[in-house]
Amino acid sequence: MHLCLTFIDLKKAFDTVETEAVLEALGVPTQYIRIFRELYSNFTTRISPFYDDITIDVRRGIRQGDTVSPKVFTATLEDVMRRLEWNDMGVRVDGLLLHHLRFADDIVLITPNISQAERMLADFDYACGKIGLQLNLTKTMFMRNGWVPDAPFSFNGTNISECSSYVYLGREVNMTNDLAPELGRTKRTWSLQEHRGRSEEDEEHQAPCPPLQHHRSPCFDLRFGNLGVT
């Protein structure tokens, strides 16, 4: 199978998406839209350089730190994707054309060649520009298998970097089906966690018992021998 994967990176996606685009994309009853408008209307932030307060109207980005914001952003991006005419794009899997995978702002385009990837990337960038999102071309990369001819991948005069492996949703992906890099990453992670756990245990054993100043109680070294345990 000819396979080319393009991993898209968006510049500060949650901070730059336009508020009005979010509200229009929700597609839910009016009363819920009114609640969101109240949350995002008259939204300001204040900075104090040199002790002078400056109030700034916030018209971009979504509130973060709650359970609603990720869903709101996902609904906005879903609305963008539905407007793209990609019905004849992608690679065929079990009789269906698969042209992209998406989890929040982690997006990968799936194409049979580089030229189709260039077209889809241009379409996606144009649609994202309408709602305030921009591509981060320095972190956007592509990967191809041996069936795809070697050719330059460019977008708006910028060459997209080719990679042999890419970490997508916490899993290292490559075209050789080589699990060694992923197993190595997992092993290093577990080793780090184990080392960190030992360090915390050592700190707990070495930490002195703080005196209870509030009750004026003395601090003494408690050992198993004091409890009659051998």
User: Tens digits of per-residue pLDDT, 84-141?
Assistant: 999 999 999 999 999 999 998 899 999 999 999 999 999 999 999 988 889 999 999 9
Answer whether residue 54 shows pLDDT above 50.
Answer: yes
Task: Please state which of the ranges 1-5, 155-159, 216-220 shows the lowest mean pLDDT.
Answer: 216-220
Query: Which token pair is 94?
Result: 């079990």
**pLDDT value of residue 189:** 72
Q: What is the DSSP letter of 113?
A: S
The amino acid at residue 14 is: F
Q: The whole model's pTM is what?
A: 0.68
3-class DSSP state of 89: coil
Q: Which helix (H) or strand (E) holds 63?
A: none
How is residue 50 annotated by DSSP?
Answer: G
- Given pLDDT bands bounded at 50, 70 and 90, which one contains residue 164? very high
Measured CA to CA, the distance from residue 222 to residue 51 in angstroms comes to 53
pLDDT for the residue numbered 32: 67
Residue 216, phi-psi category: left (phi > 0), alpha (psi -120 to 50), beta (remainder): left
pLDDT of residue 228: 35
User: Quick check: 65 pLDDT over 80?
Assistant: no
What CA–CA distance (Å, rounded) separates 180 from 186?
10
Q: How far apart are CA 216 and CA 212, in angstroms?
A: 6
Q: Provide, rounded to the nearest whole percent, the portion of the chain with pLDDT above 90.
A: 37
Lowest mean pLDDT among 46-55, 125-134, 160-169: 46-55
Is the pLDDT reported for residue 13 higher than 70?
Answer: yes
Q: Which residue has the higher pLDDT, 146 or 57?
A: 146
Q: Mean pLDDT over residues 15-44, rounded?
A: 69
User: For strand 91-93 and strand 96-98, is the pairing parallel, antiparallel, or unpaired?
Assistant: antiparallel
